[in-house]
Structure formats: C-alpha cells, structure tokens
Amino acid sequence: MPRVPERAKLHLVMTLWQFGYAGNHIILRSALNMGISKIVFPLYRNAIALFVLAPFAYFSEKNDRPPLTTSILIEFFLLGFIGITCNHGSYLLGLDKTSPTFASATENIVPAVTFLIAALLRIEQVHLNRKDGRAKVLGTAASVAGASLITLYKGPAIYTPNSHLHHQSRVLLSLGDDEGENWTLGCIYLIVHCLCWSSWIVLQAPLLKKYPARLSATSYSCFFSVWQFLAIAAYFEKDSQAWQVHSSAELFSIFYTISMCLYKLYKLQQDYLYLYKWPSSMSHTHYFVYNMISFYRRSFRR
C-alpha cells in the first residue's frame, strides 16, 4: 500500500479540523439559545482548559522554562486579556446577536488583519515588487472590503415563510438574529473579536523570543484570563442560576470546544511539529489559522 505523504496528511487534518470548527459556531450558538451565560461559559471553558494543560506544561517544559520576570508576567496578563478575555467575550456577544454563518464569515478577515498589523509593526516584510507581496496586499484589501460590506449592508429578505412553514422557519432562524435590531451591534462585537485575535497572534512573536516555553506561556495567559473572567462574572452575574450548568447539552458545548483545542494540541503537534513553529496559543483553537498561514507561506517560497 503506498505511503501517504506527510503534506497530504496535513491538508486532510486541516480540512477535518475546519469542519469541526464550523460545528463549534453552531454548538456555541445553540448553547446561548439555551440560556447559558456569556460570561460564565468562557470562565468554565478556560478553567477546565487550564486544569488540563497546566500539568503537561509543568512536566514537559520543566527543564526548558526560563525564569519569570515582572515584565514577562505583565505580558502574560495582557495576552490573556486581549487574546482570551476580550477575544472570547466579544465573540460570544457578537454570536449572540448575529448568526453562526455570519460569525464564521467575519473571521475570514483575521489573516488579513494579522498581516496588516504585523506589517505596520514591521514584523512582516511587504515586498510590492514580488508577486507574493502584491497578492498579500490585494488579499488584505479584499478581505477588509468584504467584511465592511457584510457589516454595513443588509439587503431585503429574499424568502418569506408562509403559514405552513412558519414553525419550521422559526426553528431555523433560532440559530441567528437576522431580523433583530441588534445586528449592527453584533457586527461590531465580531470585528472587535477579530482585531483582538489578530493582535494576539502578532504579540506572541516578541514574547516567545524571551520565553520560548510555549505550553507554559499558554498556561500563564489562560491563568490570568480565568481570573479576569471570574472578576467580570462576579460583578455582572448576580443570579446564582447563571453559574449552574442546567443541561447535558450545555455541558457538551463546553467540552466540545475544549476537545477541539486538545486534539489540535496533541495530534497536530505530535505529527507535524517539523512543519510548524507553534505559537503559545495551543490551548485554543484560534491559533490554528496562524499555523496554516505559516505553512502555506513557507510552501509558496520553496
């Protein structure tokens, strides 16, 4: 039996992961429809992720972990605030006011915004005299223009359900707020989410040069985000019912998102470490986009 090339395996795993991540939008929206708190949910999710990840970070990087300094701890705090607290919080607020389809479409601007921020900070070099440089600029402009279009423009309804299909249409529309007056606010939340996500990616580079223990860096960032979410939840969620998981579906939504990131962390890192320079976000699914960009960029230059 012919052996499957490693690169083909990588493409297959990335494709399967994209299907799983698409389900992540739908499952999270369903959990919000069930009434799960938009503040307590990310608190539980990050707390469980920290509980699972921290022991592996401690033992696997015990001999490679640099000493902590005050400046590094401050950077961990900021990374946790920007990349986890603001990122996840704004995403859930935006998803609650829009739809899974719109949230998924909006996230396509993350690579473009990441490139733009990295170029402005002179982390990414832009070569307009080369084809790849011009392609990056044109792709960035197209992504930002598309995100602006779907955010600012909302056309008329192209389908009006009749009385016989009224019940079915309500079930389908329950996964989105397409007709709600909060749509624009949800768009703003999702754009903030993408900006935080992109900023988090870019800010990893200088930190990892000083603190190359990636799992430990992730654990510290997650640790600070847990305390940040805890403080926010303690202030805003006064109702004790909001702190309880009321159904197995809500519990499944929490563990589904965690299993997504753990699969990526262990399976992909184990099989394809030689293709990646893994950033410190491996406990969260969002940094998979960064890894894909890095891989394809290196492949294009070969």
Model pLDDT, residue 200: 87
238: number of Cβ within 10 Å? 8
pLDDT in the model for residue 248? 73
Q: Which carries the bigger pLDDT value, residue 299 or residue 206?
A: 206
Query: In the chain, which ranges are continuous DSSP H helix?
Result: 6-33, 40-60, 70-79, 87-97, 100-106, 110-120, 131-152, 166-173, 183-210, 214-236, 248-263, 269-272, 288-301
d(CA 80, CA 92): 16
- Comparing 30-34, 78-82, 247-251, 284-288, the range with the smallest average pLDDT is 284-288
CB 97 within 8 A of CB 185: yes
Among 124-133, 138-147, 279-288, the range scoring the smallest mean pLDDT is 279-288
Whole-model pTM above 0.75? no
Domains: count for the chain: 1
Is 255 a member of any domain?
yes
* Residue 142, domain member (yes or no): yes
Flag whether 1 is in a domain.
no
φ and ψ at 67, to 5 degrees? -70, 145
Q: What is the mean pLDDT of residues 230-256?
A: 79
> Distance between CA atoms of 105 and 107, rounded to whole angstroms?
5
The Cα diameter of the chain in Å comes to 67
* Contact (CB, 8 A) for 38 and 32: yes
Which pLDDT does position 192 carry in this prediction?
92
pLDDT digits 0-9 by tens, 171-181: 444 455 545 55
Confidence (pLDDT) at 276: 37
At 76 the pLDDT is 92
Higher pLDDT pick, 183 / 80: 80
On the question of pLDDT at 265 being above 60, the answer is no
Share of the chain above pLDDT 70, in %: 70
* Confidence grade of residue 242 (pLDDT, cut at 50, 70, 90): confident
Q: How many CB atoms lie within 10 A of CB 283?
A: 26
39 located within any domain = yes
Query: Domain span at residue 43?
Result: 6-156+164-301
pLDDT tens digits, 182-201: 778 888 899 899 899 888 88
- Is 32 within 8 Å of 96 (Cβ atoms)? yes
- Residue 31 near residue 253 (C-beta atoms within 8 A): yes
